[in-house]
Structure 1
Amino acid sequence: MALRIVSADERLAEAAVKTTIAIFGPSGVGKTSLLKTLPADETLCIDLEAGMKSVQDWPGLSIPVRTWLDALDVACLVGGIDPAAPADAFFSEAHHRHVAATYPDLLRLIADKRIVFVDSITDLTRQAMAWAKTRPEAFSERSGRPDTRGAYGLLAREVIALLKHLQHAQAKTVIFVGILEKVTDELNRVHWQPQLEGGKAGRELPGIVDQVVSMSLFVAEGEGLRHEPERGEIRRLVCRPNPYGLPAKDRSGRLDVTEPPDLSALIAKINATRKG
């Protein structure tokens, strides 16, 4: 790939048509239903958890994915060729040529979509772990016995590579959805963290995506909100560092601490700053 200068206008034009968002919320909070707030004709759902029951009447298109290798193929179709990938690696020119020939209809379908909704990154890491446990790296060279550390190391490398590849998808907004779990430590302190296989992918994810958002439940309290994840009736997207202890990051600098659960409105607000 030839080196070139990118002007400010080109950067602004690209920023206006793409972003990457990771959204985490407790099970049952309605993360998948956020699909209904996106334009169905411009959105593709990558369904990794057979979880479309709650949005069965959503008129958009989805691709069911049940294995890690299928997830890699779909990511290659979405993200294109990685010019830095070795010739025999995932996302290489050879890999893309193979999947494009195998799935020409999917390639055309994906090219027409502006938004890719990945549901869920939690299940993506589970599929990756199931695959990693079968690889040579997951077995001790000396004893031949399973080596959990090797499996987790491979899991982290491959998941991070897939996430970064999707981040570079041209002119597409990519939204990763995952489970947010409540963790209580030995001092009875509560923490909220993404539920992912392995720790490395979860630690690096905030540095890969543009926005980290937590979806949770609240109750009205005066002019503000009180976080009530089990009994609340108001759904909100938490988008910036907050008093609730929920993961959040806003690289755009435009979002409020909480926003309505409307992804089209959220994306428009993010991109508005980038246009000026």
Structure 2
Amino acid sequence: MALRIVTADERLAVANAKTTVAIFGPAGVGKTSLARTLPPAETIVIDLEAGMKSLQGWGGDSIPVRTFKDAADIACLVGGIDPAADASGFLSGAHYEHVSREYPDLARMLAAKRYVFVDSITDLTRQAMAWSKTRPEAFSERTGKPDTRGAYGLLARETIGLLKHLQHAPGKTVIFVGILERVVDEFNRETFQPQMEGSKAARELPGIVDQVMTLSLFDRDGDGWRHNPVNGAERRLVCRSGNPWGLPAKDRSGNLEETEAPNLMAVLTKANKPRGSPAPG
């Protein structure tokens, strides 16, 4: 693609048309059910964990994915050709031509979707690890025995490449959900981190997406909120870094409150408003 200048109006139009979001939360908090707050006709759920039970009665479409190769095929159909991809690898021109021929109906259906809900990134990395262990890079050239470092290196490269490719998907809002893990160290200090295979992918994900949020349970505490992840009465999306609970969050838009109601359509509309614009009523 030739280099060109993007005008302010073009940049604003793109910002309103697409956003990338990562949402983490403990198991059972209702991450998958957030898809209910998106318009069914415009949404596709990429179901990597066979977790559609909570979406019974919802009118949106879904695609079950059980292998990393299938996930890469979907990413290629959603995002098109990656000009930087290896000619024989995932997301290349050859890969796109192959999947377009193999799945013409799927390609047409995905082209019509605006919201891509990936459930979950935790399972995506598990599938990527299973695939990586079968590749030549996962075996020592000298002994032929499994090489764990090689497998993790391949996992990180391919997973990060797939995430970045979806980030660049034209006209698509891509939402990744994943499990949030509570970690307590030897000094009884509590931290929270995304549960993903491979630390490199987990570290780099916040820099790839526009928004990072944590879905958890809270109780009202005066004018604010008290984090109660086990027995809290209300679900809230934590949207800002530096929050008092130490939960993963980032708001690149600058428009979101510290916590927001768990309505993705409302949150996306608010995040996509130009700064200084009135908040949606």
Q: TM-score, normalised by structure 1?
A: 0.98
Q: Who is 1:128 aligned against?
A: 128
User: Where do 5+ consecutive residues of structure 2 fail to align?
Assistant: none
Give CA deviations for 1:238-276 in whole Å, capped at 9, x if unaligned: 000200010000000000000000000000001112695
Give the Cα separation in 1 of the matches to 2:4 and 2:191.
44
Amino acid at match of 2:210: D
Q: 2:204 maps to which residue?
A: 204
Task: Report the counterpart of residue 270 of structure 2 in structure 1.
Answer: 269
1:110 pairs with 2:110:
yes
Q: TM-score, normalised by structure 2?
A: 0.97
Verify: 1:239 aligned to 2:235, yes or no.
no
Structure 1: segments with no counterpart, 5+ residues: none
Matches within 5 A, 1:69-148: 69-148=69-148
Partner Cα separation in structure 2 for residue 244 and residue 10 of structure 1 = 37
Q: One-letter code of the match for 1:263?
A: L
1:203-237 deviation line (CA, Å, top 9, x unaligned): 00000000000000001111211000011011000
Partner SS for 1:175? strand
Q: Is the 8 A contact 1:16 1:274 kept in 2?
A: no
C-alpha displacement of 1:182? 0.4
Runs of 4+ in 1 over 3 A off after TM superposition: none
Task: Report if the CA contact (8 A) 2:255-2:275 is conserved.
Answer: no
Task: Letter of the 1:200 partner, please give it.
Answer: K
Q: Percent identity, please.
A: 71
Q: Could you say what secondary structure the match of 1:23 adopts?
A: strand
Matched residue type, 2:251: D
Matched, 1:260 2:261: yes
**Separation of aligned partners in 1, 2:3 and 2:88:** 24
Q: Give me the whole-angstrom Cα distance separating, in 2, the residues matched to 1:248 and 1:24.
A: 9
CA contact (8 A) 2:254 2:275 kept: no
Q: Is 1:50 paired with 2:50?
A: yes
Deviations 1:130-174 (A, max 9, x none): 000111111111111111111111100000000000000001100
Match of 1:6 in 2: 6
Equivalent residue number for residue 176 of structure 2: 176
* Matches of 1:133 and 1:262, distance apart in 2: 38
Q: Does 1:248 align with 2:249?
A: yes
Aligned residues: 276
On the 8 A contact 1:183/1:191 being kept in 2, the answer is yes
> Equivalent residue for 1:22?
22
Shift of 1:86: 2.6
Report if the CA contact (8 A) 1:81-1:92 is conserved.
yes
Letter in structure 1 aligned against 2:272: N
